[in-house]
Structure 1
Amino acid sequence: MKQTIHTVSYEVSQVLANVDEDQAVKAAQSIENAERIFVTGEGRSGLMGKAFAMRLMHAGYEVYVTGETITPSIHEGDLLLAISGSGSTGSICQFAEKAKGQGAVITAVTTNAESRLGEVSDHVLVVQAATKKRLPEEPETIQPLGNQFDQSLHLLLDAVIIYAVNQSKKTNNDEMTNRHANLE
C-alpha cells in the first residue's frame, strides 16, 4: 500500500512540475479580471470544477456552475473556465463556443491545447496528465481512467486560487471562513 501511495503522489507531483507557469498565471489573472466566473466540466472533471467553484466562492468571487438552476446567462466581461481532459467533450465545447459568442473570456483546462476546446479559448492551461484515452503522448501511470488528470487538476486549480488571492489581497482566511456554509 505504501508503495502505491508513493507512486500516485509522485506521478501527480511530476504532472504539476510540468505545468507552464505563464499559463497558470494567465488563468489566475483571467479569474481576477472577470466580472463573474462560470465553471463547466462533465463527469469527474465537473466534480473537480464544482470543488474549484466552491473555493472561488469562499475567496469572495461571484461564481456559478453551468447546469445549476440558479446559473444566470453569461455576458461580456464574464469568464467561462471550461474543464475537459481531452478538450473534445461535446457539451463543454458547445458551452465555450456559446460563451465566446456572448463576449465572455474562455479559459480552458485540458491536456490538449490543440483540441476543439483549446482552439476556441482565449487562454489554455495544459495539464500534462493521462486521461482515460491513454494517448501515446500522455505520461505513464498506474492509475485507472483519468485519475491522474483529476488529482492533478484539483491541486493545480487550488494553487491558481491561492495565487490569485495572494496577488490581489482580496480576502483572508477569516473572511473565507465566514463565507463557508453554516447550514450544516
Structure 2
Amino acid sequence: MNSEIELIRSELDTVCPRITEEAVAGCCRELGAAARVFVAGAGRSGFMASAFAMRLVHLGYAVHVVGEATAPAFAEGDVLVGVSGSGNTSGTVRAAGEARRARGRVVAVTTDVDSELAAAADAVLLVPAATKNRAAGEAATAQPLSSLFDQAVHLALDAVCLRLAAEAGIDNAAARGAHVKTE
C-alpha cells in the first residue's frame, strides 16, 4: 500500500475510535427534530460542512449553507451544525449565536468541548483530532494544518448520515432520487 495512504489511515485509526456512539446519536437526535438544517464553517471546515449539507439533501432534509446568497434567516425549530476544529472560529461562533437568538438549536463539531462553539451548543460531536493550532491534547499527526480533523469530520458526519438514512429507511435508490441531475 502507498505509504502516505497508510500514514493517513493509521492516524485516523487513532482518532475515529474516540468519536463516541453517544455523540453521533446526539447529533442525529437534533437533526431528526429539525425543521431546517443550516451548516457553518470557515475554510476547510466549511468545505466539510458543505459536503455534509449535500449528503443531508440526499436524505431529504431542507438544508442551507450559512453565508450563501439563498440562505434564509434562522427560525425557531431550525438546527445549526457548526464545524470548527478550535471551536472558536469567529464566523462559526457568530452563526451559533444567531441560531440561539432565533430559538434554534446548535450542534458543535469540534475538537474542544470547552470552546465557545461547544458552550453555545445543545449537542457536541467531539472529533478529537489535530487542528492547525496543535493545541495540547490534540492527536499527533504528520499531516499539515487541519487535515486530520477534516478527514475525521468527514467520516464522523458520514456516520451521522448513515444512521439517519437507516432510521428513515433511505437506501441508495431513494438517495439517488434526490441527487442533482445536471448532466
TM-score w.r.t. structure 2 length? 0.97
Q: Which runs of 4+ in 1 moved over 3 A?
A: none
Return the letter of the residue paired with 1:24: V
Report the CA distance between 1:63 and its aligned residue: 0.6
What is the aligned partner in structure 2 of residue 179 from structure 1? 178
What is the aligned partner in structure 2 of residue 114 from structure 1? 114
What is the aligned partner in structure 2 of residue 80 from structure 1? 80
What is the aligned partner in structure 1 of residue 143 from structure 2? 143
Structure 2 distance, partners of 1:177, 1:109, is 27
What is the aligned partner in structure 1 of residue 154 from structure 2? 154
SS of residue paired to 2:114: coil
Report the CA distance between 1:103 and its aligned residue: 0.3
| Contact 1:108 1:121 (C-alpha < 8 Å) held by counterparts | yes
SS of residue paired to 2:87: coil
| Contact 2:108 2:121 (C-alpha < 8 Å) held by counterparts | yes
Structure 1 distance, partners of 2:162, 2:181, is 23
Deviates more, 1:7-16 or 1:34-43: 7-16
| Contact 1:29 1:164 (C-alpha < 8 Å) held by counterparts | no
Report the CA distance between 1:69 and its aligned residue: 1.0
What is the aligned partner in structure 2 of residue 21 from structure 1? 21
What is the aligned partner in structure 1 of residue 62 from structure 2? 62
SS of residue paired to 2:40: strand
Give structure 2 stretches of 5+ with no counterpart.
none
Report the CA distance between 1:8 and its aligned residue: 0.6
| Contact 1:45 1:83 (C-alpha < 8 Å) held by counterparts | yes
What is the percentage of aligned positions where both structures have the same residue? 39
| Contact 2:52 2:157 (C-alpha < 8 Å) held by counterparts | yes
Report the CA distance between 1:168 and its aligned residue: 2.6
Report the CA distance between 1:106 and its aligned residue: 0.3
Q: Residue by residue, what CA displacement relative to the aligned partner does 1:91-143 show, whole Å, maximum 9, x if unpaired?
A: 11111011101100100000001101110111111100000001121111111
Give structure 1 stretches of 5+ with no counterpart.
none
Return the letter of the residue paired with 1:40: A
SS of residue paired to 2:106: strand
Structure 2 distance, partners of 1:155, 1:125, is 12
Report the CA distance between 1:3 and its aligned residue: 2.2
What is the aligned partner in structure 1 of residue 91 from structure 2? 91
